Amino acid sequence: MITQEFAVARRLSELPPYLFVEIDRKRREAVARGVDVISLSIGDPDIPTPAPIIRALARAAREPANHRYPESEGLDRFREAVADWYRRRFGVELSPRSEVLTLIGAKEGIGHLPLALVDPGDVVLIPDPAYPVYRAGTIFAGGEPYEMPLRRENKFLPDLNAIPNAIRERARLMFINYPNNPTGAVAPLEFYREVVDFATRYNIVVAQDNTYSEISFDGYRPPSFLEAPGAKDVGIEFHSLSKTFNMTGWRIAFAVGRADVVEALRKIKSNLDSGAFQAVQDAGITALSMAEEISARNSKIYQRRRDVLIGGLRKVGLSVEAPRATFYVWPRVPAGFDSASFVSTLIERAGIVCTPGNGFGKEGEGYVRFALTADVSRLREALARLASALA
Ligand SMILES: *Cc1c(COP(=O)(O)O)cnc(C)c1O
């Protein structure tokens, strides 16, 4: 039977090439050769979800009222728990009904937001390197991504003054992400103040991704964008239970901030999905009530791993800064390598998988990302192998 050639929509071909296919092939080859591969490439916690959260889910799953379609904006009681947590953690007041929206993961909200705000041809400011969904969501909405380079000499903060006037005038939306994936950089409140001024002046909506605010080290506590005066007039912040509570598989997150932006995103969602399983939202309430304790426990684990990995990488001569938050380490590759060749060498000679920096955008070239999602003994093993591979 001859089937007619079938063409997918143009928007799919506009996505950047998927750089991880080759790495995945090499990883599978190594596994097939019998290599005990150490995977430090994926930002997915290896620590299990705390037991009280699982018990809360089990209880809520037995409740028939939770078996029906949820409201797309989320349960009132979950949104109240979010507002309580924002008050406790950041000193930010939120109206649960109009300024909080439940999401089926921050990825879902980020991917859908441009559909709510961006018309074809509008510019969206996105960081480079970055979590890939800012770009994908922009392209799906017909928007034009404009990359703001994040460079080491600028502490991986975008230089707003370098954005050309013509771009500022056409920009509708700006994505920022601190604590940052993949660089591990953090933003001071002062930077958020600058962003509010810039966004106010050019009428740009800001979407700050605060997914990693609860994984931080050395006593540092990352702020919320909404702590900056006027921030709630220009934008929203995303937060996720995924990384904070080791719940990546559960799909639960939220957006908070400017009410008409929250409402626009709710409208898109109500036409595309029917909200997050209510039992998962009930478990999320339990999680948020334990945020301080769980965050302190996780951060302590990651800090120990960070110290081990950073120490070992420096010993073999890599140039790397110790992150103050996130579970990522972002070293420069050694002389004579680029991101791709260093990643290939690590897989082939040491059985270690990490992520090439250029997979996050062209400014990521020359870096690799290690995720601290393996325990200290695996990290020590990885470092021993790395030292002999580079010797
Ligand atoms: C992991 C991650 C997300 C996605 O979180 P989910 O709530 O699991 O969808 C969003 N932003 C960044 C920067 C991430 O690293």
Local confidence band at 2 (pLDDT 50, 70, 90 cut-offs): low
> Is residue 240 in contact with ligand 1, taking CB distance under 6 Å?
yes
Site to substitute for ligand 1 among 243, 252, 360, 373, most atoms within 8 A of C-beta: 243
Please tell me the predicted confidence (pLDDT) of residue 291. 98
* Residue ranges covered by each domain of the chain: 10-48+293-390, 51-292
Locate the ligand 1 atom nearest the alpha carbon of residue 253 and give its number: 7
Share of the chain above pLDDT 70, in %: 99
Q: Note whether 10-48+293-390 and 51-292 share their fold.
A: no
50: left (phi over 0), alpha (psi -120 to 50) or beta: beta
Helices in 70-162 by DSSP H: which ranges? 76-90, 96-99, 106-117, 133-140
Q: How far is the CA of 190 from the centre of ligand 1 (A)?
A: 24
Q: Tell me the chain's radius of gyration from C-alpha atoms.
A: 21
Task: For residue 388, give the DSSP letter.
Answer: H
The fold for domain 51-292 equals Aspartate Aminotransferase; domain 2 (3.40.640)
pTM score, whole prediction: 0.96
Task: For residues 250-265, give the mean pLDDT.
Answer: 98
Euclidean distance between CA atoms 132 and 237, whole angstroms:
17
* Chain centre to alpha carbon of residue 319: 24
pLDDT, tens digit (0-9, with 9 covering 90-100), for 290-338 = 999 999 999 999 999 999 999 999 999 999 999 999 999 999 999 999 9
Task: For residue 362, give the DSSP letter.
Answer: G
Task: For residue 310, give the DSSP letter.
Answer: H
Could you tell me which residues are beta bridge partners of residue 367? 332
Locate the ligand 1 atom nearest the alpha carbon of residue 181 and give its number: 13
> Is residue 181 in contact with ligand 1, taking CB distance under 6 Å?
yes
> Is residue 105 in contact with ligand 1, taking CB distance under 6 Å?
yes
Please tell me the predicted confidence (pLDDT) of residue 321. 96
In terms of Cβ atoms closer than 10 Å to its own Cβ (0-12, 13-18, 19+), residue 34 is exposed
109 within 8 A of 343, measured Cβ to Cβ: no
Q: How far is the CA of 7 from the centre of ligand 1 (A)?
A: 31
Task: For residues 230-254, give the mean pLDDT.
Answer: 98
Q: How far is the CA of 212 from the centre of ligand 1 (A)?
A: 9
Strand duo 352-353 + 38-39: pairing: parallel
Task: For residue 260, give the DSSP letter.
Answer: H
Euclidean distance between CA atoms 230 and 29, whole angstroms:
53
Q: How far is the CA of 176 from the centre of ligand 1 (A)?
A: 13
Task: For residues 58-66, give the mean pLDDT.
Answer: 97
Please tell me the predicted confidence (pLDDT) of residue 7. 83
Please tell me the predicted confidence (pLDDT) of residue 13. 87
- Helices 376-390, 291-315: crossing angle, 10 deg rounding: 20
pLDDT, tens digit (0-9, with 9 covering 90-100), for 125-149 = 999 999 999 999 999 999 999 999 9
How many helical (H) and strand (E) elements, i.e. helices and strands, does the chain have?
A: 16, 12
Q: Which of 205, 236, 213, 249 is nearest to 85 (CA)?
A: 213
> Is residue 106 in contact with ligand 1, taking CB distance under 6 Å?
yes
Q: Which architecture does CATH list for 10-48+293-390? A: Alpha-Beta Complex (3.90)
Site to substitute for ligand 1 among 242, 326, 360, most atoms within 8 A of C-beta: 242
